[in-house]
Amino acid sequence: MDTKTLMEWSAKYHTPNYGRTPLVLVRGEGTRVWDSDNREYLDFTTGIAVTGLGHCHPVITGAIREAAATLLHVSNIFHNAPQVHLAKLLVEHSFADRVFFCNSGAEANEAALKVVRKYAKERLSSDRYEVIATNNSFHGRTLATVSATGQPKYHHGFEPLMPGFKHVPYNDLRAMERALDSHTAAILVEPIQGEGGVNIPDDGYLPGLRKLCDDSGALLIFDEVQTGVGRTGRLWAYQHWGVEPDVMTLAKALANGIPIGAMLCREDVATALTAGSHGSTFAGSAFVTSVALATLTTIIGDKLPERADHRGRELMDGARELQETLPVIKEVRGRGLLIGIELTKPAAPVVDACREAGLLVLTAGEKVVRLAPPLIVESADCKRALEILGGALAAAAK
Ligand SMILES: Cc1ncc(COP(=O)(O)O)c(C=O)c1O
């Protein structure tokens, strides 16, 4: 079928909730994708920070083939071996003692919100149910997670939102301290805000939140749906600050593109999830956990977080060099391969110009160009991406 008809049908048959780029992508390999006219692109979007190992990585393709031919789904009425091995691997490489699997980032955050409410009500006090989140955050699109999300544009039309959430400015410890009260069950933050503009907190922020939680009994939830699994140059972003949460949520990159989510927590928190209190039909199927196991084993075994750290520094140095001659760049910030280039102008035309020149990049908020290449990206691809970006930014500056 020709590209034009496909896009017309897409516009006709889908609900109109996505503002889609006018491209039909048909094939991917490593850092590259091809469209239906066989044009090649460098993919610095990775399906929004999902395909950390790039497209069609041979280990992942092999794991998918083998898992598909062995066992797809049996439900959580039964045990399945890959799910157990994945939970063990996650526990051995994080702060956590226990893992709950689900199917997306929003579901992982739903599980986190449910567990902290139940824990606080049962262990602390029956009126401790509130979660304090931050402005500009993004936690998902279900009613609870959109209520937790601190961006009014995602709320419009869906009110009344779920009660039990407060929002305070990100990176503002005093505001968080003032908001904490006898109803607070938990604080929910992204260690680095992704969708909100690649916002990196001051060094004292996450340790300060840890202390506020320790002093008040509230639980600390880190939403690492975007920052986790090596993206920021550490396996988990919280490792940059040496602070451990009580609950952490993951999704996106955990199975390199096969849908999965996970909520990890400490032992005593997990005990709130008594048998039958929470669950999901598809969660942690033998298929998806086999693929996640292959993904995580490769990311850890090939030391890809370290590699992401090096490549990220190269990219940020290059972007800062561009800044010297292009005042349209206000700031370059990031950790590892989650990089934001804040502009003095809207970012969307720059994203379009990059695409025309063969580079796919994201926005994060109105004025930030977000780069999220795969963790396996080569230096030569970073150089090429910077050339294209430089050209697009120079045109935007005119
Ligand atoms: C930090 C964060 N949390 C949660 C989500 C929601 O994940 P999902 O789209 O898989 O529901 C996202 C998605 O972008 C995210 O970036």
- Residue nearest atom 3 of ligand 1, based on CA coordinates: 139
Mean pLDDT of 361-367: 97
Point out which residues pair with 265 in neighbouring strands.
98, 247
Q: How far is CA 155 from CA 19, 36, 361, 383, in A?
A: 17, 35, 26, 39
Rg of the chain over all Cα atoms, to the nearest angstrom: 21
d(CA 286, CA 74): 8
pLDDT in tens, 113-134: 999 999 999 999 999 999 999 9
Q: Residue 242 Cα, ligand 1 centroid: separation in angstroms?
A: 23
d(CA 72, CA 278): 22
Q: How far is CA 222 from CA 138, 186, 195, 352, in A?
A: 12, 10, 15, 33
pLDDT more than 90, % of the chain: 99
Q: Residue 152 Cα, ligand 1 centroid: separation in angstroms?
A: 16
Q: Has residue 358 got a pLDDT over 90?
A: yes
d(CA 100, CA 250): 10
Give the pLDDT of residue 339: 98
Give the pLDDT of residue 396: 86
Atom of ligand 1 nearest to the CA of 140: 6
- Residue nearest atom 8 of ligand 1, based on CA coordinates: 105
Q: How high does pLDDT run on average in the chain?
A: 97
- Residue nearest atom 4 of ligand 1, based on CA coordinates: 139
Mean pLDDT of 164-193: 98
Q: Which residues line ligand 1 (CB under 6 A)?
A: 48, 104-106, 109, 138-140, 190, 194-195, 223, 225-226, 251
pLDDT in tens, 259-286: 999 999 999 999 999 999 999 999 999 9
Atom of ligand 1 nearest to the CA of 109: 4
- Residue nearest atom 10 of ligand 1, based on CA coordinates: 105
Mean pLDDT of 194-223: 98
pLDDT confidence tier of residue 398, bands split at 50, 70 and 90: confident
pLDDT confidence tier of residue 194, bands split at 50, 70 and 90: very high
Phi and psi for 87 in degrees, rounded to 5? Answer: -60, -45
Give the pLDDT of residue 397: 79
Identify which of 252, 260, 362 to mutate to test ligand 1's pocket (most ligand atoms within 8 A of the CB).
252
Atom of ligand 1 nearest to the CA of 259: 10
Q: Has residue 378 got a pLDDT over 90?
A: yes
d(CA 367, CA 370): 10
pLDDT in tens, 52-111: 999 999 999 999 999 999 999 999 999 999 999 999 999 999 999 999 999 999 999 999
82 contacts 289 by C-beta, under 8 angstroms: yes
Q: Residue 225 Cα, ligand 1 centroid: separation in angstroms?
A: 6
Q: Residue 266 Cα, ligand 1 centroid: separation in angstroms?
A: 22
Mean pLDDT of 149-168: 98
**Is the whole-model pTM more than 0.85?**
yes
d(CA 7, CA 4): 5
d(CA 359, CA 371): 10
pLDDT in tens, 298-326: 999 999 999 999 999 999 999 999 999 99
Point out which residues pair with 332 in neighbouring strands.
341
- Residue nearest atom 7 of ligand 1, based on CA coordinates: 105
Catalytic residue numbers?
138, 223, 252
82 contacts 74 by C-beta, under 8 angstroms: no
41 contacts 358 by C-beta, under 8 angstroms: yes
pLDDT confidence tier of residue 139, bands split at 50, 70 and 90: very high
Tokens 């931050």 belong to which residue? 134
pLDDT in tens, 230-261: 999 999 999 999 999 999 999 999 999 999 99
Q: Residue 325 Cα, ligand 1 centroid: separation in angstroms?
A: 35
Give the pLDDT of residue 1: 84
Atom of ligand 1 nearest to the CA of 227: 1
Tokens at 20, concatenated: 């889609």
Mean pLDDT of 146-168: 98
Tokens at 33, concatenated: 């994708």
Which of 345, 334, 326, 346 lies closest to 382, judged by CA?
334
Which of 282, 295, 296, 290 lies closest to 68, judged by CA?
290
Tokens 């790039």 belong to which residue? 54
Give the pLDDT of residue 241: 98
